[in-house]
Each structure stands twice: as C-alpha cells, then as structure tokens.
Amino acid sequence: MHWKNYDEAVDLTEQRFQFFPQTFRWRGRRYQVETVERSWTASRPGWRRYFRVHCTPGIFDLYQDLSASTWHLRRVKWAGEPSRSLWTVAKKLKFSGV
C-alpha cells in the first residue's frame, strides 16, 4: 500500500470522547472509524491536530484545522492495493528470468 494525497474537506459527523473522530463523511460516503492508531499536533502550517484512523477501506490521515474549526482528509492508504515493495520484487523476478 502507498499513500494517496487528497487534502479535501470532510464532514465530521461524530466524535468519541468529544475529541477523536468516530464517523465522517467524504465525497458522499460515510466512514466509520474502527481504531485510532495515533494523534499528533503540528504548528505549521497553522495549528492542526492529526489523527491516523483505520476504517474498512483503508488507513486515513485526518486533520482538524484548529484555527478554522474544520476537518480535512490529508491522505489514504487504500486496503487491497498491492504493496509497492511486493510489486518491485515481482517485476525484478519477472525480468531476471527467475
């Protein structure tokens, strides 16, 4: 799996403990957060609180723009995509005649 960048607004519809994302809507689809892997805060650009969350379709990096009180999807690792490293190995084996 590799990261695909989006940096698009999402509608956070529910929070857990009034802090962690629980459900959000992006591009008309509802996503249920299964687990929160980690959270961190960054001061550049602007103050943002990031959350790496696991949903059925993949791993999502969400962030909350603290100055604007908005939520965004930064990037996604979609489940089911072949790993780049596995693809690289397969190509090498194919082209080396093994």
* Domain map (residue ranges) of the chain: 4-96
Residue 44, pLDDT score:
77
Cβ(37)–Cβ(53) below 8 Å: yes
* Reported pTM: 0.79
Cβ(62)–Cβ(48) below 8 Å: no
Give me the mean pLDDT over the 27-55 stretch: 95
- Please state, in angstroms and rounded to a whole number, the distance separating the CA atoms of residues 10 and 8: 7
Q: What are phi and psi of 33, to 5 degrees?
A: -80, 125
Structure confidence at residue 47 as a pLDDT band (50, 70, 90):
very high
* 54-91 pLDDT tens trace: 999 999 999 999 999 999 999 999 998 665 555 555 55
Residue 98, pLDDT score:
54
